[in-house]
Amino acid sequence: MELTKRIEVISGITLVAIIAAGCLLVIWPFTSSILWAAVICFATWPLHQRINRLCKNRRSLSAALMTLIMVVVTVLPFVLVATALDTSLSSLIARLQNMSTQGIPPAPPWTGHIPLVGSYLQSNWSDLATDSEKGHTFLKVALANLKPWLLRRCLDFGIGVLHLCISVFIAFFFYRDGDRLVGHLSKLGLRILGDYSQHLVNVIGSTVRGVVYGFLGTALVQGVLAAIGFLIAGVPSALMLGFFTFFMALLPFGTPLIWIPVTVWLFVTSGVKWGLFMAAWGLCIVSGIDHPLRPYLISREANLPFVLVFLGAAGGLLAFGFIGLFLGPTLLAVGYCLVQEMIRHKKSPQHEGRNNPDADLRASF
């Protein structure tokens, strides 16, 4: 009898483990999308509550409106960039193919004025332009290597945008049923950690908002402002350059790596007027807004080491692909703040207010 019960228990545990493993396998491809949907909802929940009140607590309507906002803010810019990127790459490949048949044209005069590498670049360009056989071989090898590389990068980018679309779709259900989900999670947290779980939820919330608003939000603003400046100055592929500025804004002093070369190019090709405009726009608007905006947004929610965002973006890209650029810094920052909070909680006085339950509760918070 005892053996029979033991077999039943083992069989039950095995069955549950198999079902759990099967569920994990099914959900695993969408893990990054689910996590990013949760981050989006956590960061924008106050806005959703306001919209829900305006919609008179019609949850499906308010969730649909929030999803539409997320599509406009998070998906549409990347779709526009993907379109601009496709046009630019198609034009580049067509131009290289045309050069492979008609020969490489002479080097533009402005290439010689590029600091440090200008003379070297102009000398080698002129060598390829005068020697048609060498130029043809160079372009043939370049095209053979460039096409597969561009195809892989475009495929990665497309998969990332697809995951972003899936995360926005999942966010609709989080917005609609979020209250019930939070209630279930709160009960689970109370069982595991007691009243301290609510404090940890507040820490997670402030950290998520600190990363989303302070780092990703500031980077997005800088990317948009850079794209506006490039459009005003008539720079080709302005949207794509703004997109690169957004990513470089995640690095310390990363945005000048985009707008300074553009400024040099404008000085050489469009004259001093547009070069000075781009230099002033990049220094005062694109890079300048980082100093007042980022500390203001972060100080409202969380004070985070900047290195976490950088490592999170790099590690997230390797772990989750394109969407990991946003998800990685958030997860790493949340983990860091939770560890800090738990250490602080362990160091808090254990015996103060021993006979007062309210004092014990305050100590845990």
Do 206 and 287 reside in the same domain of the chain? yes
In a domain, 288, yes or no: yes
- 149 & 216 share domain: no
Return the top range by mean pLDDT from 8-17, 192-201, 301-310: 8-17
Predicted confidence at residue 351, as pLDDT, reads 41
- Give yes or no: residues 202 and 182 share one domain: no
**Tokens 């950290």 belong to which residue?**
207
pLDDT of residue 248: 83
- My answer on whether 40 and 183 are in the same domain is yes
Residues 71 and 208 placed together within one structural domain of the fold: no
Is 293 a member of any domain? yes
Does 117 have pLDDT greater than 80? no
Residues 202 and 336 in one domain: yes
215-247 residue pLDDT tens:
778 888 888 899 899 999 888 878 888 888 888
Q: Which residue has the higher pLDDT, 17 or 142?
A: 17
Would residue 355 count as lying in a domain? no
Instruction: Output the average pLDDT for the chain.
Output: 78
Q: Is residue 96 part of a domain?
A: yes
Residue 13 domain flag: no
Q: Final residue of a domain: which of 157, 173, 193?
A: 193
Rounded Cα distance, 265 and 267, in Å = 5
Select the highest-mean-pLDDT range: 96-110, 143-157, 255-269, 314-328.
Answer: 255-269
User: Per residue in 317-364, pLDDT tens?
Assistant: 787 777 777 778 778 877 877 787 777 766 655 444 444 444 343 333
356 in a structural domain: no
Calculate mean pLDDT across residues 112-122: 71
Region 128-154: mean pLDDT is: 77
> Is residue 213 located within the same domain as residue 82?
no
pLDDT over threshold 50, residue 288: yes
Tally the C-alpha atoms within 13 A of residue 46's C-alpha that lie toward its C-beta.
4
Query: 202 with 276, same domain?
Result: yes
User: pLDDT > 90: what percent of the chain?
Assistant: 7
CB-based contacts of 50: which residues, under 8 Å, 6+ apart?
none
pLDDT at position 114: 67
How far is it, in rounded angstroms, from Cα 211 to Cα 339? 17
Predicted pLDDT of residue 194: 65
What is the average per-residue pLDDT within 279-303?
A: 74
Question: Could you tell me if 40 and 185 lie in one domain?
Answer: yes
Please indicate, yes or no, if residue 365 is contained in any of the structural domains. no
pLDDT of residue 303: 56
What pLDDT is recorded for position 98?
Answer: 77
* Residues 266, 148 share a domain: no
Same domain, 164 and 217: no
pLDDT at residue 92 above 60?
A: yes
Please check whether residues 166 and 56 belong to one and the same domain: yes
In this prediction, residue 365 carries a pLDDT of 33
Domain boundary among the residues 130, 164, 193 is at: 193
The pLDDT of residue 1 is 57
List the domain range (segments joined by +) for residue 142.
Answer: 30-193
Predicted local confidence at residue 359, as pLDDT:
39
Of 246, 250, 245, the C-alpha closest to 260 is 245
Note whether residue 21 is domain-resident: no
Q: What percent of the chain has pLDDT above 70?
A: 84
Q: Tokens 């290289």 appear where?
A: 96
Count of the separate structural domains present in the chain = 2
Q: What is the pLDDT of residue 210?
A: 73
Q: Is the pTM of this model over 0.85?
A: no
pLDDT of res. 346? 65
What does the angle CA 19 – CA 22 – CA 28 come to, to the nearest 5 degrees? 135
Q: What is the pLDDT of residue 268?
A: 77
Looking at residue 178, its pLDDT comes to 78
**In the predicted model, what is the mean pLDDT of residues 262-283?**
86
Note the pLDDT tens digit of each residue in 24-70: 888 888 888 888 888 888 888 888 889 988 988 888 899 999 999 98
